[in-house]
Amino acid sequence: MIESILERFAQGEDLTKEDLCTLLRVPVGSRDYYNLLAEANGYSRKAFEGKGLLFGQIGLDIQPCRINCKFCSLAADFLKGCTPFIRDLDDTVQLAKQLADAGVRDVFLMTTAEFSQERYLDYGRAVRAVLPDDVRLVANVGDFDEAYALRLRDAGFTGVYHICRLGEGVDTGASVETRVRTLDAVKAAGLELYYCVEPIGPEHTDEQLADEMLRPRQYPVGVMAVMKRTAVPGTPLAPRGEISAARLAQICAAATLAMRPKRAMCVHEPDELCLMAGANQLYAECGANPRDTEAETSKGRGFSVEDARAMLRKAEWS
């Protein structure tokens, strides 16, 4: 029975790891399951005033990435022999402008860990120059130190998407310590951090999920997210399969209660059930995508702005 946990949440108490594990253990489809989804949905409808949010992400490069994550279509082992592709700066600026014109509130520029840090700042400055002042510019890049975080800010970035992944150091070539150092650099530079519990697979325990729901509490996070791992055919982790939409909604609800995000709660892949379980924000995606084998994800898995808007409307987010 989870009533006392939901009651304490409603009274403003921060939930503990034990609370979150209890919420994550509730059987899918039970009365408690729907009570959990209802509490998260109620929180988000009120906190976000019924408004859905659209973000847009542009993947800038396709090149064998040395971090070699076992779920990623851009990993060095997966991309052996591929000819690197880097999106042209002018083309990127054009795309970013189109996304903003279409109603996207935050524009993300994503790269592999191979992308030149210096060159990335050029992209940031050029994109910032064409975005309206009220559209945020967010970096999604490899690890960096505080000096580089300050340079990102000076180039016009308002925030950074960075996370400690589930299975970091085991299923990826990055260490938890390196990831945390970057998270600390984001905070020290006064940038907004965008956090996500990802990439969630069937093997992850409730305890692992709860730990990653609680980690961002010590950082300036306004936007929280959950993302299931996509089983990209040919990647080492694909045989482990994917979690169900019902389970993702449960995790989405628990993460919403864990973090009480102030600006938005996001879900990957776009999912209607999660939009009734705390999520109110979706991405339009173009260019490279670690979850896609299509070089231009807008022709593959990636949603367009119109797709994302239509799904938000279906769940009655305005």
**Contacts to ligand SF4 by CB under 6 A:** 65, 67-69, 72, 74-75, 112-113, 172, 290
Q: How far is the CB of 65 from ligand SF4 (least distance, A)?
A: 3
Q: How far apart are CA 251 and CA 244, in angstroms?
A: 11
Q: Tokens at residue 86, please? A: 């880097």
DSSP 108: E
Smallest distance, Å, CB 288 to ligand SF4? 8
Nearest residue (CB) to ligand SF4, 149 versus 227: 227
Which is nearest to 157 in space by CA: 196, 198, 193? 193
Q: Which is nearer to ligand SF4, 66 or 313 (CB)?
A: 66
β-bridge partners, 193: 160, 221
Residue 48 or 78: which CB sits closer to ligand SF4? 78
Distance CA 58, CA 140 (A): 10
* Sign of the alpha-carbon torsion through 181, 184, 189, 194: positive
Nearer to ligand SF4, 69 or 189 (CB): 69
Q: At what angle do helices 245-259 and 17-25 cross, to 10 degrees?
A: 160
Q: How far apart are CA 34 and CA 92, in angstroms?
A: 42
Report in angstroms how near the CB of residue 293 gets to ligand SF4 at its nearest. 13
In angstroms, give the least distance from the CB of 64 to ligand SF4.
9
Strands 106-110 and 197-200: unpaired
The Cα 204–Cα 238 span in angstroms is: 14
Q: Which is nearer to ligand SF4, 61 or 192 (CB)?
A: 61
Q: How far is the CB of 77 from ligand SF4 (least distance, A)?
A: 9
The alpha-carbon radius of gyration of the chain (Å, integer) is: 19
Contacts of 46 (CB under 8 A, 6+ apart): none
Tokens of 156: 């016009």
Cβ 309 to ligand SF4, closest distance in Å? 27
**Distance in Å, CB of 51 to ligand SF4, minimum:** 30
**What pairs with residue 57 in β-bridges?**
108, 285
User: 74 vs 121, which CB is nearer to ligand SF4?
Assistant: 74
197-200/281-287 β-pairing: unpaired
- Number of Cβ within a 10 Å radius of residue 81: 5
Q: Which residue lies nearer to ligand SF4 by CB, 4 or 117?
A: 117
Q: How far is the CB of 112 from ligand SF4 (least distance, A)?
A: 4
CA-nearest of 48, 92, 61 to 275 is 48
Between 44 and 112, whose beta carbon lies closer to ligand SF4? 112
Q: Which two tokens stand for residue 83?
A: 């000819």
